[in-house]
Amino acid sequence: MGSTLDIALPALKSNPKFIFFTDFDGTITQQDSNDWMTDNLGFGPELRKKGNEDVLYGRRDFRDSFADMLDSIKTPFNECIELLLKNITLDPGFQQFFEWAKENNVPIVILSGGMEPVIRALLAHMLGKEEAETLQIVSNDVAPRQGKSVNEAGGWHIVYHDDSGFGHDKSLEIRPYARLPAEERPVLFYAGDGVSDLSAAKETDLLFAKSGRDLVAYCERESVPFTTFQDFTEILATVKDIVAGKTTVKEAATGRK
């Protein structure tokens, strides 16, 4: 494949036959870092859950609801990071999945509605800095408020990746891969759990939706094929079978287990 295509679609660099796109918060991690901050440092779980419900049922854009959540957090950004490092844990199966994917040329691309500095800090803490730097992350950013530093109280805000109602429309990253000619197109997977994943839900060959979370309800309501997972050990088993030709993406899309 040409170098221009490799730059535009970096996950193609190793000429893979499979690409694994994934959400970060509540998918790679056991807890959602943004939910944790909102519940413990911001306006609390009741308003957060109401906002998520409004997004799930189309009453409000994720972009506005999520900004309200984060704006309610006044804790300096460096203190937020320190607290998250103590309270957010890695999915018990992700390390093994990460190592298998690296050995078998299955690029992992993290598509997150969260903030890249948070994700980088957590991954460096959980996987080690060198390993974390091998992962492509497409996410939102953080910036200081006017006249302030991010490490002051009320000093930071989210900077969205794009102008969409999602703030980060994950489908925009996946579709160029999906539209490749059949002979060049890898099989595409996506794993997610919540309202930030709605933009990606219909874009890949197989969707893994975390059991008991909002994404499952959305897929059932919108008739989106999916399979559920509890943790990455289940994802690894399914992806291994597909890579080995023991099953197909269509056969794996069994819905709620």
- Average pLDDT in the 103-121 region? 97
Rounded Cα distance between 103 and 222, Å, is: 36
- 1: pLDDT confidence band, cut at 50, 70 and 90? very low
Q: Which is it for the CA torsion 211, 39, 156, 125, positive or negative? A: negative
- Work out the mean pLDDT of the chain and round it to a whole number: 95
Instruction: Give me the percent of the chain exceeding a pLDDT of 90.
Output: 93
What's CA 176's distance to the chain center, in Å?
A: 18
What was the pLDDT predicted at 7? 62
What was the pLDDT predicted at 192? 96
CB 19 within 8 A of CB 107: yes
Length of the chain counted residue by residue: 257
Residue 106 sits at φ, ψ, to 5 deg, of: -115, 95
Local structure of 31: helix, strand or coil = coil
Which pairing describes strands 18-22 and 187-192: parallel, antiparallel, or unpaired?
parallel
What was the pLDDT predicted at 8? 85
Min mean pLDDT across 68-82, 112-126, 211-225 is at: 211-225
What was the pLDDT predicted at 2? 46
Which pairing describes strands 136-144 and 156-159: parallel, antiparallel, or unpaired?
antiparallel
What was the pLDDT predicted at 5? 57
CB 227 within 8 A of CB 207: yes
Active site members? 23, 25
Instruction: Give me the percent of the chain exceeding a pLDDT of 70.
Output: 97
User: Burial, 109: exposed, middle or buried (Cβ in 10 Å; 0-12, 13-18, 19+)?
Assistant: buried
Local structure of 156: helix, strand or coil = strand
